[in-house]
Amino acid sequence: PAAKSMHAAHQANRDRRFPWHCTPRAALLRSTLDHHSSPPFQAHSRKEASVSHTDVLAAFSQLGFTPFDWLLIELAIAAAYIVFGIAGFGTALVAGPILIHFMPLSRIIPLLVMLDFLAAFGNLLPSRQSVVRSELMRLLPCMAAGCTLGVLFLLNLKSDLLLLLMGLFVTGYAVYSLAVKVRPTQLAAGWAIPAGVIGGLFGALFGSGGFLYAIYLNSRLTSREQARATQSALISCSTVVRLTLFMIAGVYSDISLLVLAACLLPAMLLGSLAGRALIKKLSREAFVRLVTWLVLVSGLALIVRYLTA
C-alpha cells in the first residue's frame, strides 16, 4: 500500500507538471480526430488554395483590359522581344510607348524586368564562353549603383514627369542611333564608370540602359561575339539587381502585376525565339535601324502626349 501510494503521488505530481501525460497518446489522437470531422491541416490547405485561386481571379479582373487592349499589349511584348532576341536590349524602348497608354511607367518597368530576367538568360546561355570577365567585373559595381538610384527615382517621381523623361530619353536615343554611323575610337577603361552608372540608372528608370553598355563594349572589344556575349551577361546581372531591388521595395506584392506577367509570358517566349531565328537570316544592323525609326516616332508621340495633357 505504501508503494502504491508513493506511485500514485508521483503520477499526480507528473500530471500537474506535464499535463499532456494525463491522456495516453492513442486516446489523445482519437479525441482530437473525433473533435474535428476532417483533419485540420487538410481543411486549412483547401482554404488556402481556395483563397489563392480567388485572389488570382480577382487580380485578373482588376486589370480591366478589353480584348483589343490585350491584343495591342501582346503584340507590343512580342515585338519588343523580337528586338531583344536580335539586339540584346531595347524591350522598354519598343514596348514602353505602347504600354504607357494602359498603365503607369512605375508598373511597366517592374513588369518588363520580370520578363527580361527570363529572356536575358536565354540569350546568355549559348554564348557564355565568349564573355570577357574583366570588362564584366569592371562594369558590374557601377551598374548596381546606377540601378539603385534608378529604382529610388522611379518609385518617388511623379508619373507625368516620368512620361516626359521617357519621351525625351527614347527620342534622344533614336536620334543618336540614326546620326552616329562611324564606329567610335577605343575608349579607356575609366569610361566603365559613367557607362555603368548611367546605364544602370536608365535601366531601372526606363527599362533600357543596354545601348550604353553596347557603346562601351563595342569600343573596347574587337570581337563582335565577345561584345555581344559580355553585354548579354551584364544585362542578365542587371535584371537580377533590379528584380531584387523591386522585391525589397515591395513592388511584386501586387498580385495583379504577377498575373499580368504570366499572361504575357507566351508572347515573350515567341518573340525571343523569333528574334534568335531572324538574327541568322537578317542583317542585324538593318533591322535595328528600322526599329530605331519606330522608336523615334514613339518617343515623339510621348512628348506630344505630355504637352497636350
Co-location of 13 and 121 in the same domain = no
CA end-to-end span of the chain: 98
Confidence of residue 9 (pLDDT cuts 50, 70, 90): low
pLDDT given for residue 81 in this prediction:
93
Co-location of 91 and 226 in the same domain = yes
Co-location of 27 and 138 in the same domain = no
Residue 40, domain member (yes or no): no
Number of domain units in the chain: 2
Confidence of residue 36 (pLDDT cuts 50, 70, 90): very low
Lookup: cell for 46? 483547401
Higher pLDDT residue, 101 or 166?
101
Q: Answer whether 0.75 is exceeded by the pTM.
A: no
Co-location of 106 and 30 in the same domain = no
pLDDT digits 0-9 by tens, 101-138: 999 888 998 999 999 988 887 766 666 777 888 998 99
Residue 50, domain member (yes or no): no
Confidence of residue 17 (pLDDT cuts 50, 70, 90): very low
Co-location of 103 and 206 in the same domain = yes
Co-location of 23 and 162 in the same domain = no
Residue 56, domain member (yes or no): no
Q: Which alpha helices (H) appear in 127-223, and where do they start and end?
A: 133-156, 159-179, 192-206, 210-220
Higher pLDDT residue, 305 or 107?
107
Co-location of 79 and 219 in the same domain = yes
Co-location of 177 and 247 in the same domain = yes
pLDDT given for residue 257 in this prediction:
92
Residue 136, domain member (yes or no): yes
Co-location of 138 and 6 in the same domain = no
Higher pLDDT residue, 80 or 45?
80
Q: What is the C-alpha to C-alpha distance for residues 67 and 165, in angstroms, rounded to an integer?
A: 30
124, HSE (Cβ side, Cα atoms, 13 Å): 19
Residue range(s) defining the domain that contains residue 136: 67-308
Q: 175 pLDDT exceeds 80?
A: yes
Q: Other C-beta atoms within 10 Å of 4: how many?
A: 8
Co-location of 169 and 288 in the same domain = yes
Co-location of 74 and 169 in the same domain = yes
- Per-chain mean pLDDT for the chain: 78
pLDDT digits 0-9 by tens, 64-111: 899 999 999 999 999 999 988 887 777 888 898 899 899 988 899 899
Co-location of 110 and 228 in the same domain = yes
Residue 288, domain member (yes or no): yes
Q: 41 pLDDT exceeds 50?
A: no
Residue 214, domain member (yes or no): yes
